Amino acid sequence: MKVAVTSQGTDLDATVDERFGRCHYFILIDPENEKFEVVENLGAGSSGGAGVQAAQFVAGQGAKALITGHIGPKAMEALEASDIEVYSVDSCSVREALARYKNHQLKPVLKAMVGPHFGTRR
């Protein structure tokens, strides 16, 4: 069981990246033992379709849950189709987000929170 978290940096103390499709890194964590793997988001600079691309990546990694900041309509549709639970956090560390996930303190996101191209505006 793996959880994917969007991150601005490469360790668990980094801040969760509020963008999904255009986040800097994905941190793939096993919540049991907190072992993790960091993967750079190669789709961060693409002109379009970054959300779908990121959803494909997360699904391809076998993640069952995703923790991020905001999620757009195309990414949400793609993640839903893959039965990946989506959780949203306000600015906090990856470690803290994971702790809140494990304590069931995060509510799942059921629909897109932002419009398309949200991540290109910052």
Partner 1 sequence: MIIAVASGKGGTGKTTIATNLALTLAENLPVQVLDCDTEEPNAHLFLKPTFETTEEVQIKIPVVNEARCLKCGRCTEVCAFHAIAVMGKRVLTFPELCHGCGGCLLACPTGAIKEAPKKIGVVELGYAGTIKFAHGKLAVGTPLASPVVKAVREKAERQRVVIIDAPPGTSCSVVNSVSGADYCLLVTEPTPFGLNDLVLAVGMVRKLGLPFGVIINRSDQGDRRIEEYCRAEKIPILLKIPFNRRLAALYARGGCIVEEYPEWKETFRDLWQRLQREVGYERAISN
* 51 within 8 A of 72, measured Cβ to Cβ: yes
Is residue 68 at the binding interface for partner 1, with CB under 8 A as the rule? no
| Those residues with Cβ within 8 angstroms of residue 119's Cβ, 6 or more apart along the chain or in another chain | 19, 20, 21, 22, 23, 50, 51, 70, 72
Is residue 63 at the binding interface for partner 1, with CB under 8 A as the rule? no
* 51 within 8 A of 118, measured Cβ to Cβ: no
Is residue 77 at the binding interface for partner 1, with CB under 8 A as the rule? yes
Q: Min. distance of Cβ 53 from partner 1 in angstroms?
A: 5
x/- binding map, residues 37-56, to partner 1, per CB under 8 A? ---------x-xxx-xx-xx
Selected binder of partner 1 within 38, 39, 44, 59 (CB under 8 A): 59
Angle between helices 73-81 and 50-60 (to 10 degrees): 20
Where do contacts with partner 1 occur on this chain (CB under 8 A)?
Answer: 46, 48-50, 52-53, 55-56, 59, 74, 77-79, 81-83, 116
